[in-house]
C-alpha cells in the first residue's frame, strides 16, 4: 500500500519542481545593456540674450509722387518689374502743366519789357537831373520804377523755374535701380500734388529695424554681430548692428536699432524677424541638443548614474545656443547624458559609453 502511494507522489513532485524552475528563470535573465555616446553637462558663462521682433526693410524704399496735376495717360511699369535709374514709370497729361509754364514764361517776358522801359526812363531822368531840368523827387520816382521792374523780373524768373520743375514731373522716373513693388494709380486716375503714385525698392541689401529697452541698448554698439530668425521660414541668418539711436524715446523708453542682414538680398521687405541681442554674461547650464527629446508632452533626457545605468529625467529647456541648449531645471553641471536620443531607454539599462 505504501509502495503504491509513493509511486503516485513521484510524478506530482516532479511537476512541482518543474514549475518552480520556470518561475525562477527571469531572476537569472541576462541584464539589459546598450552602447551609446555620452557627454557631460557643463555650466558656463555666456552672454545673456534678449529676443526682440523687428521688420525687414529694403536698403532704399521710395514712394513716388508728383507736384503735377492731371490724369495718368500711360503706365510703363507694373509691380514686379525690374527698373533702372531714370526709367519712365508713369506719364501724366502735360497740357495743364505746360500751360502753367507758358503763363509763367509770358509773365517773364512782360516783366523784362517793363524793366527795359524803366531802365531807359531812369537814364533820361539822370541826364535831366544833371542838367538841373528835373527835381530830385522825379529822379527818385524813376529809380523806384526801375528797381520795381527789376524785382518783377526776378519774381517772374522764379515762377518760370517753378512751373518748369512741375512740368518736368509729368514724367515719373525711377530714382534708383530696383523693383516696382506697389502701384497706387491706374490710367485715367486724376493725380493731385503729393498723391502717392508708385513704390520702388532696391533689390540688394536688407536691414532689420527693431527697438530695445533703453537699459538693454546700453550694450549695443555698431559692428556687434547678432543672430536673427525669420518668422516666415524659421531660417537663421547673421546680422551686424549698423545704427543705434543715441537717445531713447521718452514715451516708450526704447532705442531704435538698425541691423544689416548678411546674405539677405533674396528676402522680401516687410517680413518680420526675431533678433537675439547679447547683453551681460550670466552662468547657465548647457547640454548637447541631441541629448534632449520630447514625448508625451514632456521634455526628457537620459542620464548615466554612478552605476552606469540609465535614468530618465524631466528637464526644462531654454534658449538654443549653437549645438547646445540651456537647461533651466532637471540637470546640473557634471551630469552625464546619453546623446542622439529620440526616445526612452528602459530604466536601469546598463550604458556602455562608446566615447570613453
Provide the pLDDT confidence category of residue 176 given band limits of 50, 70 and 90: very high
Residue 315 has pLDDT above 80, yes or no: yes
More confident residue, 355 or 149: 149
Kindly state whether residues 301 and 178 are assigned to the same domain: no
Question: Where among 234, 255, 281 does a domain terminate?
Answer: 281
Residue 17 in domain: no
Spatial separation of the C-alpha atoms in residues 325 and 205, rounded to whole Å: 32
- Specify the pairing of strand 254-261 against strand 38-40: unpaired
| Residue 113 pLDDT greater than 80, yes or no | yes
Cα distances (Å, whole numbers) of residue 346 to 288, 325, 340, 349, 351? 21, 24, 16, 6, 11
Based on the domain organization, do 145 and 197 belong to the same domain?
no
pLDDT greater than 70 at residue 219: yes
Q: Does a structural domain hold residue 105?
A: yes
CA distances from 123 to 141, 145, 150, 152 (A): 12, 12, 15, 19
Higher pLDDT, 241 or 166: 241
Q: Where are the alpha helices (DSSP H) in 200-351?
A: 214-217
Same domain (yes/no): 182, 120: no
Q: Rounded to the nearest 5 degrees, what angle is found at the Cα of 131, between the Cα atoms of 125 and 132?
A: 85
Same domain, 292 and 333: yes
- Is residue 222 one of the residues assigned to a domain? yes
Boundary of a domain, candidates 225, 256, 281: 281
Residue 279 is predicted with a pLDDT of 79
Do 110 and 153 sit in the same domain of this protein? Answer: yes
Q: What is the pLDDT of residue 177?
A: 92
Residue 228 exposure: Cα atoms within 13 Å on the Cβ side: 32
Percent of the chain scored above 90 by pLDDT? 24
**Percent above pLDDT 70 for the chain:** 90
- 107 lies in the same domain as 159: yes
Q: The domain that contains 338 carries what CATH number? A: 2.40.420.20
Instruction: Count structural domains, the chain.
Output: 4
* 298 and 274 belong to one structural domain: no
Are residues 339 and 213 both part of a single domain?
Answer: no
Torsion sign over Cα 102, 104, 106, 112: negative
Please indicate, yes or no, whether residues 301 and 347 belong to a single structural domain of this protein.
yes
In CATH, what number is assigned to the domain containing residue 88? 2.40.50.100
**Per-residue pLDDT band at 100 (split at 50, 70, 90):** confident
Rg (CA), the chain: 43
Domain boundary (281, 309, 326) is at 281
* The residue to which cell 520630447 is assigned: 294
pLDDT at 220: 80
Same domain, 190 and 145: no
The contacts of residue 48 (CB under 8 Å, 6+ apart) are: 278, 279, 280, 281, 282
In a domain, 136, yes or no: yes
- Report if residue 309 sits inside a domain: yes
Average pLDDT taken over every residue of the chain = 83
Whether residues 116 and 85 share a domain: the answer is no
What is the pLDDT at residue 1? 40
Interval 58-67: pLDDT, tens: 888 999 998 8
The answer as to whether 21 is a domain residue is no
| 155 and 99 share one domain | yes
The pLDDT confidence band at residue 356, using thresholds 50, 70 and 90, is low
Residue 22 has pLDDT above 50, yes or no: no
CATH number for the domain spanning 229: value is 2.40.30.170
Indicate whether 312 belongs to any domain: yes
Domain of 80?
66-92+170-203
Q: Is residue 4 part of a domain?
A: no
Q: How far apart are CA 116 and CA 113, in angstroms?
A: 5
User: For the chain, what is the largest distance between any 2 Cα atoms, rounded to a whole number of angstroms?
Assistant: 183
Contact 274, 321 (CB under 8 A): no
pLDDT band at 322 (very low <50, low <70, confident <90, very high): confident
Amino acid at each position: 500500500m505504501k509502495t503504491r502511494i509513493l509511486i503516485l507522489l513521484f510524478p506530482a513532485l516532479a511537476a512541482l519542481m518543474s514549475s518552480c524552475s520556470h518561475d525562477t528563470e527571469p531572476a537569472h535573465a541576462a541584464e539589459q545593456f546598450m552602447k551609446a555616446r555620452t557627454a557631460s553637462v557643463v555650466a558656463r558663462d555666456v552672454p545673456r540674450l534678449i529676443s526682440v521682433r523687428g521688420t525687414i526693410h529694403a536698403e532704399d524704399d521710395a514712394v513716388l509722387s508728383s507736384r503735377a496735376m492731371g490724369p495718368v495717360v500711360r503706365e510703363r511699369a507694373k509691380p514686379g518689374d525690374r527698373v533702372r535709374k531714370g526709367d519712365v514709370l508713369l506719364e501724366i497729361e502735360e497740357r495743364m502743366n505746360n500751360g502753367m509754364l507758358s503763363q509763367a514764361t509770358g509773365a517773364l517776358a512782360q516783366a523784362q519789357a517793363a524793366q527795359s522801359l524803366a531802365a531807359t526812363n531812369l537814364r533820361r531822368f539822370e541826364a535831366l537831373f544833371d542838367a538841373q531840368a528835373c527835381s530830385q523827387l522825379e529822379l527818385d520816382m524813376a529809380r523806384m520804377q526801375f528797381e520795381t521792374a527789376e524785382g518783377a523780373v526776378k519774381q517772374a524768373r522764379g515762377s518760370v523755374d517753378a512751373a518748369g520743375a512741375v512740368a518736368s514731373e509729368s514724367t515719373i522716373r525711377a530714382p534708383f535701380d530696383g523693383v516696382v513693388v506697389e502701384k497706387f494709380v491706374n490710367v485715367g486716375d486724376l493725380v493731385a500734388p503729393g498723391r502717392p503714385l508708385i513704390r520702388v525698392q532696391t533689390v540688394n541689401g536688407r536691414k532689420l529695424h527693431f527697438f530695445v529697452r533703453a537699459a538693454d541698448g546700453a550694450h549695443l554698439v555698431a559692428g556687434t554681430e547678432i543672430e536673427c530668425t525669420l518668422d516666415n521660414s524659421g531660417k537663421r541668418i547673421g546680422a551686424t548692428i549698423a545704427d543705434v539711436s543715441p537717445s531713447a524715446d521718452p514715451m516708450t523708453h526704447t532705442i531704435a536699432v538698425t541691423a544689416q542682414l548678411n546674405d539677405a538680398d533674396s528676402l522680401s521687405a516687410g517680413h518680420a524677424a526675431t533678433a537675439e541681442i547679447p547683453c551681460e554674461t550670466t552662468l547657465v547650464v548647457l547640454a548637447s541638443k541631441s541629448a534632449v527629446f520630447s514625448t508625451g508632452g514632456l521634455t526628457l533626457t537620459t542620464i548615466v548614474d554612478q552605476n552606469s545605468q540609465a535614468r530618465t529625467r524631466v528637464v526644462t529647456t531654454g534658449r538654443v545656443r549653437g549645438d547646445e541648449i540651456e537647461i533651466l531645471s532637471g540637470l546640473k553641471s557634471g551630469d552625464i547624458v546619453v546623446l542622439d536620443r529620440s526616445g526612452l531607454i528602459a530604466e536601469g539599462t546598463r550604458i556602455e559609453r562608446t566615447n570613453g
